[in-house]
Amino acid sequence: MRARAFLASVLAVALVLSGCAGPDHTIAPAGAPQPVESTTAPTPSPHPTVAKPPKPPLRPLPAKLPAGLRRNSGVRPVVLTFDDGPNPTWTPKVLDQLRAAKVTATFCVVGREVQRHPELVRRIVHEGHQLCNHSWRHDLDLARRPVNEIKADLKRTNRAIQAAAPGAKVSFYRQPGGRWTPEVLAVAKGLGMRPLHWSVDPQDWDKPNAATIGKRIHTAARPGAIVLLHDGGGDRAATLAACPHLIADLKKRFGITKLR
């Protein structure tokens, strides 16, 4: 019996060493296929996708500008407005020219630029100019969006202005691109801001030369005009070059005033 047990033990060891034992140390039958380790990565189980709710469609723009926009100063002198700043390159130079000419203007500021350059907002206020909310990021379609989005945008911009210049008055709102809807007018008025448009647009945003900017303003200006210019949103070298002449021309013909 001991001899048989010994022979069985020797045989088992031999089978294991020859690779006939399974991975669980059991004896594999002769000729059984051996397991092969897979080199293919397992296919991950798909994660369920969450469908995003569709964005509400944009309202169409009205066929004509809605009633209630401020498009005239209400007096003989004209008003200068500068949009899309504050910009660290152009706004200080515009302010220097206004100070030299002893005139004031209205700066329609973009919220995220206010957040980036609060010191320029403080200078605008300190030097006696007016502030106008011009939306958070100059969204041309803002007036076509849901009313709650419009309100959140305008309030966010006002908060940035107040953080930069605590106590500064923001009496006006100007819609980017002049793309007004009755809804954005109502929101602006509800927040205590008057909707501010313009009557003279020399299209300095399209980068004509300084002489063209000055000529367009000279030709279009009338008593009480509100003139649209830009101190941000791109290269404003031509606007800056045009300012001394156009300011002198408007000051002589009509005078330049603040909005009231």
Active-site annotation holder among 117, 129, 197, 230:
230
Q: For the chain, what is the radius of gyration of the CA atoms?
A: 36
Structure-token match 């803002």, residue found: 142
* C-alpha distances in Å from residue 253, one per residue of 222, 224, 226: 9, 11, 14
Token pair, residue 152, equals 């959140």
Q: Please, what is the Cα angle at 154 between 184 and 89, to 5 degrees?
A: 115
Of the candidates 83, 153, 204, 231, the residue annotated as catalytic is 83
Strands in 130-133's sheet, in edge-to-edge order, are 194-195, 170-173, 130-133, 106-109, 79-85, 226-230
- Peptide bond before residue 86 is cis, with ω within 30 degrees of 0: yes
Per DSSP, which regions of the chain are E strands? 79-85, 106-109, 130-133, 170-173, 194-195, 226-230
Q: Is-catalytic flag, 230? A: yes
**Tokens at residue 37, please?**
């380790």
Give the residue numbers marked as catalytic: 83, 230
